[in-house]
Amino acid sequence: MIQSFSRCIEILKIVADSPDGIKLADIARITKLKYTTVYNLVSSMMKEGMIRRGEGHVLFLGPMVTDLHNRRRHGELIRHARSIMLPLIRRYPETNLTYSRFTGTQITAFLNRSQELMGEIRAAKSVLPPYQTVAGLVFLAFLPEEDAMILRGNFPFTERNLAEWGTEKALDGAVRLCRERQYARLPFDPPEMSRIGIPLFHKGRLSGALTCTCLNLMAKEEKGLLNELLKLTGVVLEEPSVENLFLRA
Protein backbone atom coordinates (compact mmCIF):
# COMPACT_ATOMS: atom_id res chain seq x y z
CA MET A 1 0.00 0.00 0.00
CA ILE A 2 2.85 2.38 0.86
CA GLN A 3 4.50 1.55 -2.45
CA SER A 4 1.27 2.29 -4.34
CA PHE A 5 0.96 5.62 -2.54
CA SER A 6 4.53 6.56 -3.46
CA ARG A 7 3.88 5.63 -7.07
CA CYS A 8 0.73 7.77 -7.13
CA ILE A 9 2.69 10.75 -5.82
CA GLU A 10 5.35 10.19 -8.48
CA ILE A 11 2.70 10.05 -11.21
CA LEU A 12 1.02 13.21 -9.92
CA LYS A 13 4.34 15.06 -10.06
CA ILE A 14 4.89 13.90 -13.64
CA VAL A 15 1.40 15.03 -14.66
CA ALA A 16 1.90 18.35 -12.87
CA ASP A 17 5.12 18.93 -14.83
CA SER A 18 3.33 18.31 -18.14
CA PRO A 19 1.45 21.53 -19.03
CA ASP A 20 0.26 20.05 -22.35
CA GLY A 21 -0.86 16.82 -20.72
CA ILE A 22 0.75 13.41 -20.87
CA LYS A 23 -0.31 9.95 -22.02
CA LEU A 24 -0.31 6.75 -20.00
CA ALA A 25 2.40 5.20 -22.15
CA ASP A 26 4.72 8.13 -21.49
CA ILE A 27 4.13 7.88 -17.75
CA ALA A 28 4.93 4.17 -17.88
CA ARG A 29 8.13 4.91 -19.79
CA ILE A 30 9.25 7.63 -17.36
CA THR A 31 8.43 5.64 -14.22
CA LYS A 32 9.61 2.31 -15.68
CA LEU A 33 6.37 0.76 -14.42
CA LYS A 34 4.20 -1.69 -16.30
CA TYR A 35 1.50 -0.06 -18.41
CA THR A 36 -1.22 -1.98 -16.53
CA THR A 37 0.15 -0.76 -13.19
CA VAL A 38 0.07 2.86 -14.36
CA TYR A 39 -3.40 2.35 -15.80
CA ASN A 40 -4.76 1.02 -12.49
CA LEU A 41 -3.14 3.75 -10.40
CA VAL A 42 -4.34 6.52 -12.73
CA SER A 43 -7.86 5.04 -12.81
CA SER A 44 -8.01 5.16 -9.01
CA MET A 45 -6.83 8.77 -8.95
CA MET A 46 -9.33 9.74 -11.64
CA LYS A 47 -12.16 8.41 -9.46
CA GLU A 48 -10.98 10.73 -6.68
CA GLY A 49 -10.65 13.73 -8.99
CA MET A 50 -6.86 13.89 -8.67
CA ILE A 51 -6.35 13.34 -12.40
CA ARG A 52 -8.61 14.07 -15.36
CA ARG A 53 -8.49 12.95 -18.97
CA GLY A 54 -8.47 15.60 -21.68
CA GLU A 55 -8.84 15.43 -25.44
CA GLY A 56 -6.63 12.89 -27.14
CA HIS A 57 -6.55 10.79 -23.94
CA VAL A 58 -3.88 13.01 -22.38
CA LEU A 59 -3.89 13.40 -18.62
CA PHE A 60 -3.98 16.56 -16.51
CA LEU A 61 -4.24 17.28 -12.81
CA GLY A 62 -7.85 17.06 -11.65
CA PRO A 63 -10.03 19.49 -9.69
CA MET A 64 -9.36 17.75 -6.37
CA VAL A 65 -5.74 18.94 -6.50
CA THR A 66 -6.94 22.54 -6.66
CA ASP A 67 -9.46 21.87 -3.91
CA LEU A 68 -6.78 20.46 -1.62
CA HIS A 69 -4.52 23.43 -2.35
CA ASN A 70 -7.34 25.84 -1.51
CA ARG A 71 -8.07 24.01 1.73
CA ARG A 72 -4.42 24.11 2.73
CA ARG A 73 -4.27 27.81 1.89
CA HIS A 74 -7.45 28.52 3.86
CA GLY A 75 -6.11 26.70 6.92
CA GLU A 76 -2.86 28.65 6.70
CA LEU A 77 -4.74 31.97 6.55
CA ILE A 78 -6.99 31.02 9.46
CA ARG A 79 -3.95 30.24 11.61
CA HIS A 80 -2.35 33.53 10.56
CA ALA A 81 -5.51 35.47 11.46
CA ARG A 82 -5.74 33.77 14.86
CA SER A 83 -2.12 34.68 15.60
CA ILE A 84 -3.02 38.33 15.01
CA MET A 85 -6.30 38.27 16.93
CA LEU A 86 -4.95 36.69 20.12
CA PRO A 87 -2.56 39.50 21.17
CA LEU A 88 -5.24 42.08 20.35
CA ILE A 89 -7.66 40.29 22.66
CA ARG A 90 -5.11 40.28 25.47
CA ARG A 91 -4.45 44.00 24.99
CA TYR A 92 -8.10 44.99 24.43
CA PRO A 93 -10.29 42.36 26.15
CA GLU A 94 -13.53 44.25 25.42
CA THR A 95 -12.90 44.22 21.68
CA ASN A 96 -15.05 42.29 19.23
CA LEU A 97 -13.10 40.93 16.26
CA THR A 98 -14.12 39.41 12.94
CA TYR A 99 -11.84 37.91 10.29
CA SER A 100 -13.26 37.73 6.77
CA ARG A 101 -12.07 36.74 3.30
CA PHE A 102 -13.16 37.35 -0.26
CA THR A 103 -14.11 33.92 -1.56
CA GLY A 104 -14.35 34.75 -5.25
CA THR A 105 -17.94 35.98 -5.27
CA GLN A 106 -18.63 37.43 -1.82
CA ILE A 107 -17.14 38.39 1.54
CA THR A 108 -17.39 35.63 4.12
CA ALA A 109 -16.64 35.92 7.84
CA PHE A 110 -14.70 32.86 9.03
CA LEU A 111 -13.64 33.82 12.57
CA ASN A 112 -15.54 35.77 15.18
CA ARG A 113 -14.73 36.87 18.71
CA SER A 114 -17.29 38.72 20.82
CA GLN A 115 -18.42 39.07 24.41
CA GLU A 116 -21.52 37.05 23.52
CA LEU A 117 -19.20 34.15 22.64
CA MET A 118 -17.56 34.32 26.09
CA GLY A 119 -14.55 36.02 24.53
CA GLU A 120 -13.45 32.97 22.53
CA ILE A 121 -12.40 32.98 18.88
CA ARG A 122 -14.87 30.74 17.11
CA ALA A 123 -15.37 29.56 13.58
CA ALA A 124 -18.07 31.39 11.65
CA LYS A 125 -19.49 31.38 8.17
CA SER A 126 -21.65 34.34 7.29
CA VAL A 127 -21.82 36.68 4.31
CA LEU A 128 -20.93 40.33 4.94
CA PRO A 129 -22.54 43.08 2.84
CA PRO A 130 -19.82 45.07 1.06
CA TYR A 131 -21.32 48.56 1.42
CA GLN A 132 -22.43 48.34 5.05
CA THR A 133 -19.28 46.95 6.65
CA VAL A 134 -15.73 48.20 7.10
CA ALA A 135 -14.56 44.83 5.78
CA GLY A 136 -16.44 45.61 2.57
CA LEU A 137 -14.55 48.90 2.18
CA VAL A 138 -11.25 47.09 2.79
CA PHE A 139 -11.90 44.57 0.04
CA LEU A 140 -13.16 47.19 -2.41
CA ALA A 141 -9.96 49.14 -1.71
CA PHE A 142 -7.38 46.34 -1.80
CA LEU A 143 -8.72 43.57 -4.00
CA PRO A 144 -7.39 43.37 -7.56
CA GLU A 145 -9.58 45.50 -9.81
CA GLU A 146 -11.14 42.47 -11.50
CA ASP A 147 -12.17 40.93 -8.17
CA ALA A 148 -13.51 44.27 -6.89
CA MET A 149 -15.67 44.52 -10.02
CA ILE A 150 -16.99 40.99 -9.41
CA LEU A 151 -17.89 41.95 -5.84
CA ARG A 152 -19.71 45.09 -6.97
CA GLY A 153 -21.48 43.18 -9.73
CA ASN A 154 -22.75 40.57 -7.29
CA PHE A 155 -24.02 43.23 -4.87
CA PRO A 156 -25.76 46.07 -6.73
CA PHE A 157 -25.92 49.46 -5.01
CA THR A 158 -29.47 49.57 -3.63
CA GLU A 159 -31.78 52.31 -2.38
CA ARG A 160 -30.89 51.34 1.18
CA ASN A 161 -27.21 51.84 0.37
CA LEU A 162 -28.07 55.17 -1.23
CA ALA A 163 -29.89 56.25 1.93
CA GLU A 164 -26.80 55.43 4.01
CA TRP A 165 -24.13 56.87 1.71
CA GLY A 166 -26.04 59.69 0.02
CA THR A 167 -24.36 58.98 -3.32
CA GLU A 168 -22.31 56.17 -4.81
CA LYS A 169 -19.58 58.76 -5.28
CA ALA A 170 -19.35 59.07 -1.48
CA LEU A 171 -18.75 55.31 -1.27
CA ASP A 172 -16.00 55.58 -3.89
CA GLY A 173 -14.41 58.36 -1.85
CA ALA A 174 -14.42 56.20 1.28
CA VAL A 175 -12.78 53.37 -0.68
CA ARG A 176 -10.01 55.71 -1.87
CA LEU A 177 -9.52 57.03 1.66
CA CYS A 178 -9.25 53.48 2.97
CA ARG A 179 -6.57 52.72 0.40
CA GLU A 180 -4.61 55.81 1.43
CA ARG A 181 -4.93 55.33 5.19
CA GLN A 182 -4.76 51.52 5.23
CA TYR A 183 -7.89 51.33 7.37
CA ALA A 184 -11.63 51.79 6.92
CA ARG A 185 -14.35 53.61 8.87
CA LEU A 186 -18.05 53.99 8.10
CA PRO A 187 -19.43 57.56 8.15
CA PHE A 188 -22.83 56.39 9.39
CA ASP A 189 -21.63 54.41 12.42
CA PRO A 190 -22.97 55.84 15.72
CA PRO A 191 -20.47 58.13 17.51
CA GLU A 192 -20.13 55.81 20.50
CA MET A 193 -18.95 52.95 18.26
CA SER A 194 -15.30 52.55 17.26
CA ARG A 195 -15.41 50.16 14.32
CA ILE A 196 -12.24 49.86 12.26
CA GLY A 197 -11.37 47.56 9.38
CA ILE A 198 -7.83 46.81 8.26
CA PRO A 199 -6.42 44.68 5.45
CA LEU A 200 -4.35 41.66 6.42
CA PHE A 201 -1.50 40.46 4.22
CA HIS A 202 0.23 37.10 4.23
CA LYS A 203 3.29 36.35 2.12
CA GLY A 204 2.82 39.61 0.25
CA ARG A 205 -0.80 38.97 -0.73
CA LEU A 206 -4.11 40.25 0.62
CA SER A 207 -5.29 37.50 2.94
CA GLY A 208 -8.41 39.03 4.43
CA ALA A 209 -9.84 41.84 6.52
CA LEU A 210 -9.93 42.24 10.28
CA THR A 211 -12.84 44.16 11.79
CA CYS A 212 -12.36 45.54 15.29
CA THR A 213 -15.34 46.94 17.19
CA CYS A 214 -15.35 48.68 20.59
CA LEU A 215 -17.88 50.86 22.37
CA ASN A 216 -17.40 54.07 24.32
CA LEU A 217 -13.65 54.46 23.86
CA MET A 218 -12.00 57.73 24.76
CA ALA A 219 -10.22 59.45 21.87
CA LYS A 220 -6.79 58.53 23.28
CA GLU A 221 -7.81 54.88 23.67
CA GLU A 222 -9.21 54.80 20.15
CA LYS A 223 -5.99 56.23 18.77
CA GLY A 224 -3.99 53.59 20.64
CA LEU A 225 -6.19 50.84 19.25
CA LEU A 226 -5.81 52.16 15.72
CA ASN A 227 -2.04 52.31 16.13
CA GLU A 228 -2.01 48.67 17.25
CA LEU A 229 -4.09 47.67 14.25
CA LEU A 230 -1.98 49.59 11.77
CA LYS A 231 1.18 47.96 13.07
CA LEU A 232 -0.26 44.74 11.69
CA THR A 233 -0.22 46.23 8.19
CA GLY A 234 3.19 47.85 8.61
CA VAL A 235 1.80 51.40 8.66
CA VAL A 236 3.22 53.94 11.09
CA LEU A 237 0.96 56.86 11.90
CA GLU A 238 2.28 60.37 11.78
CA GLU A 239 1.06 62.72 14.45
CA PRO A 240 -2.01 64.49 13.09
CA SER A 241 -4.53 65.85 15.53
CA VAL A 242 -6.91 63.33 17.04
CA GLU A 243 -9.78 65.24 15.45
CA ASN A 244 -8.33 64.81 11.95
CA LEU A 245 -7.17 61.26 12.58
CA PHE A 246 -10.65 60.00 13.31
CA LEU A 247 -12.51 62.11 10.80
CA ARG A 248 -15.15 59.83 9.36
CA ALA A 249 -14.69 58.97 5.69
Residue 131: count of CB within 10 angstroms of its CB? 22
Q: What is the pLDDT of residues 217-248, one digit of tens each?
A: 777 778 888 888 888 766 544 444 333 343 33
| Whole-number pLDDT of residue 219 | 77
Give residue-wise pLDDT tens across range 11-58.
Answer: 999 999 999 999 999 999 999 999 999 999 999 999 999 999 999 899
The verdict on 90 and 169 lying in the same domain is yes
CATH number, residue 137: 3.30.450.40
Paired strand residues for 240: none
- Give me the domain span that covers residue 7: 2-61
Long-range CB contact pairs, 114-117, < 8 A, 24+ = none
pLDDT, position 217 = 76
**Which tens digits make up the pLDDT trace of 163-216?**
999 999 999 999 999 999 999 999 999 988 889 999 999 988 999 999 999 888
CATH of the domain at 56: 1.10.10.10
138, 222: one domain: yes
Residues 147 and 57 in one domain: no
What CA dihedral angle connects 198, 239, 87 and 72, to 10 degrees?
30
The count of structural domains within the chain is 2
Tell me the CA distances in angstroms from 100 to 13, 17, 110, 134, one per residue in order: 33, 34, 6, 11
Domain identity same for 57 and 113: no
pLDDT, tens digit (0-9, with 9 covering 90-100), for 115-141? 766 678 999 999 999 999 999 999 999
Q: What is the pTM of this model?
A: 0.83
